[in-house]
Structure 1
Amino acid sequence: MNDNEQLQHWIDRVDTELVRYFADKDMTCNPLDRAMEYTLLAGGKRLRPLLTMVVVAEYGGDPEAAIPFALASEFLHTYSLIHDDLPCMDDDDMRRGKPTNHIIFGEANAILAGDALHSESFLLLSGAPHPSLSAEKRNQVMVEFCQAVGKRGMVAGQIMDLAQTGKDTSLEHLELLHQRKTGALLRFCVRLGAHLAEVSESDLNALTQFAEKLGLLFQVVDDLLDEESDSATLGKTSGKDAGQDKATFPKIMGSDEAHDYADKLLDEALAALKAVSRPLEYLEEIVRYVRHRDH
């Protein structure tokens, strides 16, 4: 994906605005702020904000106006990473090629940093100005964000994941788990871009189908990378899923079948894009990247 100069430009804009968010508010002097920005500014794919900006741009809108909204998803995603890495959750000591937040700042500060990032994400979404976002549409965005984050989304997926550790599960249950834990926020990010771009209802439906396939694809590839790659490449501890006896797609299906399933999800995501009223070349490039990424 980084070979595409325009996509890389948007990723760089996200990084710049994340740094500025802290600098403008003089948020560099206390332990909470340092813990928040430690993980947030440690890098990452910036896939979630990129999806929002790309959808806006593909429909002729201004991706710059979407940046504050796009940042909210990265704040929320980073909160989830900090909490996922805690000893009481996935108990990991490396993230984005660096020691995890609680290793550096302690568990209490890591929990509070995640809590603060969670709150800031809602502040961004509720207060960011936009030239065409009505109060009614902003309320819809906030409702969808809440659904993606809480007991119908990421949090539900995380508790399902914890409950399934060390147990047998079905493919259907694993798909539901990751539709919530991983897919719900990715789905929101695509739909957020669609709302900001004021797309038609038929295009919104097709983009939603695309996002749902993308979310599952991301997780299948993530499971495969955990099994097949190394820690240095991933920037996090490889082999953790097997070590913790987690329910994964390769565990349930076998590695070859999981690769086939990933290819099928890619085809289905691309087919969903074909149902949209215009070519969406950047989204096509992103979903192909997700299938073939190495970290």
Structure 2
Amino acid sequence: MIDNEQLQHWIDRVDTELVRYFANKDMTCNPLDRAMEYTLLAGGKRLRPLLSMVVCAAYDKDPEAAIPFALASEFLHTYSLIHDDLPCMDDDDMRRGKPTNHVVFGEANAILAGDALHCEAFQLLVSSTYPGFTAETRQTVILELCEAVGRRGMVAGQVMDLAQEGQDYDLERLKLMHRRKTGALLRFCVRLGGHLAGVREPELAALTRYAEALGLMFQVVDDLLDEESSSDTLGKTAGKDAGQDKATFPKLLGSEKAHAFADGLLEEALAALKDLEVDAELLAEIAQYVRHRDY
């Protein structure tokens, strides 16, 4: 949990709105809605919507009004988790301390739940409003999300991940894979906050540098936790990467150098924030949290 009252309040607000989103749906007769809700409400860091809200707040814009847009990123993230856990992908049976979606609802319903969450995300981006948010900016946001999750972003990263199992790889390819698979959506979330706040260059460029360092750091830490933590702490199967002979930073660099690499990325993220003209204390706190998280 993030040890900051304001940040935790915004995380709680996201959770409340996620519950409300499904409140009027009849879960007893709609297995699709139940499958969507199951993974979406199973917990999680809510880091992606939080980043968008914190950027808005940094520029004195309303973070609460950003929630509908921010939920879109959480829907996209959840869709990716459901699909990643499938037997044809990472074949995991635990996520956030609970059986994975396909274990509970079956593979077909899990696939469809992910597909539906993907569509709901774009519906939110198309239908939501924000003060000063123009049609041109909305188009930019949608195009950026398509790039973040499509064939040059998250999906491309997953393809690279599957292809790398048991293969030789170098640091540059590993970084590229995770900039796509993990980093691209986090980058989008930070830039989304910038677009909502009406931020222009070079502020947006500095936010982007922060997001790129944060996204890669998130994955390095994730790899380290998979190697060094327990399944109970992680809420998913620990040691799974090694068991599947996956490409990871600790495997390539060794644990000590992987930790040092993560520390360097934290410094990059914090350095980017120094180029902003606003108080970025909460963004810095998020970066520290990502580096030192234990799940």
Q: TM-score, normalised by structure 1?
A: 0.99
Give the secondary-structure state (helix, strand or coil) at the position aligned to 1:2. coil
Deviations 1:181-211 (A, max 9, x none): 0000000000000000011311100000000
Q: Matched residues in 1 for 2:256 and 2:25: separation?
A: 49
Q: Matched residues in 1 for 2:195 and 2:278: separation?
A: 16
Give the secondary-structure state (helix, strand or coil) at the position aligned to 1:182. helix
Aligned pairs for 1:196-235 (under 5 A) are 196-235=196-235
Q: Matched residues in 2 for 1:279 and 1:232: separation?
A: 37
Aligned pairs for 1:83-98 (under 5 A) are 83-98=83-98
CA drift of 1:27 comes to 5.3
Give the secondary-structure state (helix, strand or coil) at the position aligned to 1:205. helix
Contact persistence 1:266–1:287 (CA under 8 A): yes
Structure 1, unmatched stretches of 5+, are none
Which residue number corresponds to residue 68 of structure 2?
68
Q: Matched residues in 1 for 2:69 and 2:277: separation?
A: 24
Q: 1:189 to 1:27 in 2, by over 3 A?
A: farther
Identity %: 77
CA drift of 1:26 comes to 4.4
Q: Matched residues in 2 for 1:29 and 1:283: separation?
A: 42
Which residue number corresponds to residue 173 of structure 1?
173
Q: Matched residues in 2 for 1:26 and 1:58: separation?
A: 39
Give the secondary-structure state (helix, strand or coil) at the position aligned to 1:11. helix
CA drift of 1:24 comes to 3.4
Q: Matched residues in 2 for 1:188 and 1:283: separation?
A: 15
The letter of the residue matching 1:123 is Q
Q: 1:188 to 1:28 in 2, by over 3 A?
A: farther
1:250 aligns with 2:242: no
Cα-Cα RMSD: 0.9
Contact persistence 1:22–1:28 (CA under 8 A): no
Aligned pairs for 1:115-264 (under 5 A) are 115-264=115-264
The letter of the residue matching 2:220 is V
Q: Matched residues in 2 for 1:11 and 1:121: separation?
A: 18
Which residue number corresponds to residue 282 of structure 2?
282
Q: TM-score, normalised by structure 2?
A: 0.99
Q: Matched residues in 1 for 2:222 and 2:71: separation?
A: 23
CA drift of 1:25 comes to 4.4
The letter of the residue matching 2:247 is A
Q: Matched residues in 1 for 2:129 and 2:23: separation?
A: 20
CA drift of 1:279 comes to 2.0
Which residue number corresponds to residue 16 of structure 1?
16
The letter of the residue matching 1:92 is D
Which residue number corresponds to residue 58 of structure 1?
58
Q: Matched residues in 2 for 1:87 and 1:254: separation?
A: 29
Give the secondary-structure state (helix, strand or coil) at the position aligned to 1:69. helix
Structure 2, unmatched stretches of 5+, are none
Q: Matched residues in 2 for 1:134 and 1:28: separation?
A: 39
The number of aligned residues is: 295
CA drift of 1:29 comes to 3.3
